[in-house]
Amino acid sequence: MILSRRYAGNQWTLNGDDYTGLIWLSNTAKPTKTKLDSLWSEVQQEILDEQTAKIVNAQAVLDKLGITANEFAALLG
Q: How far apart are CA 42 and CA 21, in angstroms?
A: 22
pTM of the model: 0.70
pLDDT band per the 50, 70, 90 thresholds, residue 67: very high
Which residues are CB-neighbours of 47 under 8 A, at least 6 positions away?
1
Quote the CA–CA distance of 3 and 22 in Å, as a whole number: 10
* Structure confidence at residue 1 (pLDDT): 87
* pLDDT at residue number 42: 96
Locate the domains of the chain by residue range. 2-76
- Beta-bridged to residue 13, according to DSSP, are 23
